[in-house]
Chains A and B, each alone.
Chain A
């Protein structure tokens, strides 16, 4: 049984594409045959973060329009055996994604034996975002610890409840997960950011994980390497935990406590 997972947020720039790349890679590392689809028509970001931009010939819209076969457009990931990327189109026409077209592609991926289909949603609550969540079985609602992001996540949760196929057909609702990203325990401590507990309290969705703010995310995307591959970094560990929890394993939350610099550091500075 294929599971379709949408990574969504409402608000832009919160880390959806970073999360889609890391999460899809994590599932593939655990042996699941995974496809990650870029729904952000016009912006075309996922292929850069996955480091496959130079191999894009055909894209999602070409497949929907019948100009290319799905297996011509799927790009095999360079890091993981079981991972395939379906890049977005650079055509500016946002109406290129039709519901029938998206459904056909998803059914065909099911037919090809994919275990997971990860949909990287564009920002906003318009057509592109709705297309990305229409066929979802599960949703990772990516939220930064600030009020505007929480409000937009709340909106997208409402849209998930009303616009997803599962809702429209009266089936079991889309399974919701909360992922708090770009989390800085120090700024939470200083009262500049909401804590992950505040965010969860406001949204009332089960917490899948907390990803710390980290410079290594920028390095990773510059290298075209999904953040989960950055061995030994907090971000990679946090995403690994997220994948484990998604698969039903228990993992304690990490990287959420602020450790005040010790006496030695305060006296002598340095790192």
Chain B
């Protein structure tokens, strides 16, 4: 850059945003509120202020009415920041713009796979970009695998971009780990563990001491509000995706170690 360019009052740079795409199959706020509550186990701080794009591809809006104010305020309550819409029927475009949302049809989002279908209303597929408490410099990426030697504590987040995550000292309730690949946990698995964050449905979660608050593979969640079933609680277990399309669900199975 020349000296002159730094005097420009505005400058444009290229950036790619870590966005969450919320695929809506329903727009009625109370219905969504209920679904979000069930999916996220009553944890309104599940997201951490990341931008979200509302995708209307899988919804039929024949009735032609969207309660934008209600919808946006609900998503904000869950710490999402709706920034734009896509695949919205043309006649609703003006309303969306008035609600402050950008029309993002045709904008490449760099998604690596289509969002997996979930029985619930919205499927967050992209992970959060910035950790709440940045995990310390104890993790180093090696050949696509991230190793974390110390316990991941409540309030900390770790994201293994593009690969597997290996936790060598377990994690606590209130911590969150995300991997684009699989998650392997030696020691207690206690917080939220999200594998296949970019949509890889063959990712798995493997733990020697199973007791999470939430697990997810490729956007399909399972919460444990009623506690982890006694047959696997505190024991070695694996989580994987079974089925296809709308039949997809997470299977949790005990793991025989010896």
Q: Answer whether A and B are interacting partners.
A: yes
A90 at the interface (CB under 8 A from B): no
| Chain A positions 197-233 with a Cβ under 8 Å from a chain B Cβ | 202-204
The stretch that binds B, out of A36-44, A81-89, A100-108, A158-166, is: A158-166
Count of residues in A whose CB is under 8 Å from the partner chain:
15
Q: How many contacts between A and B, using CB within 8 angstroms?
A: 49
| Chain A positions 109-164 with a Cβ under 8 Å from a chain B Cβ | 125, 151, 154-155, 157-159, 161-162
Q: Please, which residues of chain A bring their CB within 8 A of the CB of B156?
A: 158, 161-162
Would you call B155 and A161 a contact (CB within 8 A)? no
Asked if A155 meets B153 with Cβ closer than 8 Å, knowing A161-B138, A170-B137, the reply is: yes
Main secondary structure, interface of B, reads: loop
Q: Please, which residues of chain B bring their CB within 8 A of the CB of A173?
A: 136, 138, 150
CA distance A221 to B173 in the complex (A): 35
> CB-nearest residue of chain B relative to A166?
B136
Q: Please, which residues of chain A bring their CB within 8 A of the CB of B170?
A: 204
* Interface band, chain B: 20 to 34
Q: How far is the CB of B127 from chain A (nearest CB, A)?
A: 19
Would you call B153 and A161 a contact (CB within 8 A)? yes
Q: Please, which residues of chain A bring their CB within 8 A of the CB of B108?
A: none
Q: Please, which residues of chain A bring their CB within 8 A of the CB of B174?
A: 151, 154-155
Q: Please, which residues of chain B bring their CB within 8 A of the CB of A155?
A: 153-155, 174
Identify the interface centre among A154, A155, A162, A204: most chain B CB within 10 Å of its CB. A154
B135 at the interface (CB under 8 A from A): yes
Would you call B154 and A162 a contact (CB within 8 A)? no
Q: Select which of B135, B154, B187 is within 8 A of A154 by beta carbon.
A: B154
B60 at the interface (CB under 8 A from A): no
CA distance A151 to B170 in the complex (A): 15
Q: Please, which residues of chain B bring their CB within 8 A of the CB of A161?
A: 135-136, 138, 150, 153, 156
A167 at the interface (CB under 8 A from B): yes
Q: Please, which residues of chain A bring their CB within 8 A of the CB of B154?
A: 151, 154-155, 158
> CB-nearest residue of chain A relative to B187?
A204
Asked if A151 meets B173 with Cβ closer than 8 Å, knowing A161-B153, A204-B151, the reply is: yes
CA distance A133 to B186 in the complex (A): 29
> CB-nearest residue of chain A relative to B191?
A154
Q: Please, which residues of chain B bring their CB within 8 A of the CB of A162?
A: 133-136, 156
Would you call B172 and A167 a contact (CB within 8 A)? no
Would you call B137 and A167 a contact (CB within 8 A)? yes
CA distance A202 to B135 in the complex (A): 19
B103 at the interface (CB under 8 A from A): no
Asked if A158 meets B133 with Cβ closer than 8 Å, knowing A151-B173, A204-B169, A204-B170, the reply is: yes
Would you call B155 and A158 a contact (CB within 8 A)? yes
Beyond A158-B155, A159-B133, A167-B136: 12 further Cβ-contacts under 8 Å?
A: A151-B154, A154-B153, A154-B155, A155-B153, A157-B153, A158-B133, A158-B175, A161-B135, A161-B138, A162-B133, A162-B134, A204-B188
The residues of B with any CB-CB pair to A shorter than 8 Å are 133-138, 150-156, 169-170, 172-175, 187-188
The residues of A with any CB-CB pair to B shorter than 8 Å are 125, 151, 154-155, 157-159, 161-162, 167, 170, 173, 202-204
